[in-house]
Amino acid sequence: MENIKYQVFISSTYSDLMNERKQVLDILLMADCIPAGMENFVATDDEQFNVIKKVIDLCDYYVLILGRRYGSVNETTGISYTEMEYNYAIDKGIPVLVFVLDDSVEIDNEKKEKDDIKRGKLAEFKSKAMRNRLASIWRDQSELMGKVAIAIMQAKNEIKRPGWHRGNDVERERLLKEIDLLRKENEDLRKGVELHDNKPIDFNGIFYGKEITLHYTERVYVFTKDTVIHEKNVVTTLDKLYQFVSLRITGIKKLSEFQEAVSGFVSGYYVDTQDALIVRNKYEQLGLINSFVGKDNIEMIEMTDLGKDIMNKLNQ
């Protein structure tokens, strides 16, 4: 097995979860990972947050621990720095592992959020974070440690990341072979695109009335071991979905904002990430939207002139 170490960013509010952070750090070290928690560097302004973003950029995985506090709020964004870190990791496509404290567990009052507005923001944040595939609920430190250990092993096995490793001749040879394979695959894809570009597209036939099935999961704001989360498949058409989504993606949007727009199509539910990406791909192939890499290497979405024209026609 290759001697690769993975860097993991630990994110949480600090004073209320100090012991939990230390335990998670120890677990990650035992899992042969490099913890990157900013223990003595808490973001309190945009300049400091920019430093934290650079650290997150270097990480292979991102661990989020949520208790009952929301944390310090950025005056510009109106959300906490912890949530800003989470949003940044999601936008950069870094695999996220989420661990939320069971809402039925009794804790000391000083570890609870006292501000009503912050409590509401925390509930929204938890609901969003728990959508991740590698998300779970914990009741005490022992359970948290066990779940972190299992989740990081699962993530390393299922979600391949570059990691950090010593360079050697064998590794260099392997990388050169991979680069050569990627080069050939890219050439094949380029040729395929050229052939595809020369074929006329039957826009009406593959857009209007074209059915698509999306998987939605209920938005939940209170999490305990007894929480039941409902799921359902929703069948719609590309034009009906675009009629709704297009009004919510005017201007330049992040890919995560596009997903949220698709989620809003079904009130009280959110769409699976994979399904949102399928929708993105279909609309891009139809020439309705363009995707590009924006600031901080985050994927952005923008409607084309055709997309705007179709939006206006559908919403007359």
The highest-confidence range among 47-51, 203-207, 302-306, by mean pLDDT, is: 302-306
- The closest alpha carbon to 126, from 66, 84, 73, 86, belongs to 66
Contact indicator for 100, 66 with CB cutoff of 8 Å: yes
**Predicted local confidence at residue 1, as pLDDT:** 45
Average pLDDT, rounded, for the chain: 88
Q: Residue 64 and residue 10: Cα distance in Å, rounded?
A: 6
CATH topology of domain 4-158: Rossmann fold (3.40.50)
| Mean pLDDT for the stretch of residues 229-238 | 95
Q: Residue 154 and residue 1: Cα distance in Å, rounded?
A: 16
- The closest alpha carbon to 256, from 218, 217, 298, 311, belongs to 298
Contact indicator for 97, 151 with CB cutoff of 8 Å: yes
| Token digits of residue 150 | 């299992």
Integer CA distances (angstroms), 21 to 36, 87, 102, in order? 11, 20, 17
Asked if the model's pLDDT at residue 116 lies above 90, the reply is yes
| Token digits of residue 170 | 């064998």
**Predicted local confidence at residue 311, as pLDDT:** 97
Contact indicator for 60, 2 with CB cutoff of 8 Å: no
For 203-314, the fitting CATH number among 3.40.50.620, 1.10.287.610, 1.10.10.10, 3.30.70.980 is: 1.10.10.10
Question: For residue 303, what are the β-bridge partners?
Answer: 289
Give Cα 236 to chain centroid, integer Å: 25
| Mean pLDDT for the stretch of residues 135-150 | 95
Q: Residue 37 and residue 245: Cα distance in Å, rounded?
A: 37
The pTM assigned to this predicted structure is: 0.77
Q: What is the pLDDT of residues 36-86, one digit of tens each?
A: 876 655 555 677 788 889 899 999 999 999 999 999 998 889 999 999 999
DSSP code for 247: G
Integer CA distances (angstroms), 190 to 82, 179, 184, 207, 291, in order? 41, 16, 10, 25, 18
Residue type, 18: M
Residue type, 221: Y
Q: Residue 235 and residue 100: Cα distance in Å, rounded?
A: 32
Q: Residue 148 and residue 37: Cα distance in Å, rounded?
A: 15
| Token digits of residue 51 | 């430093």
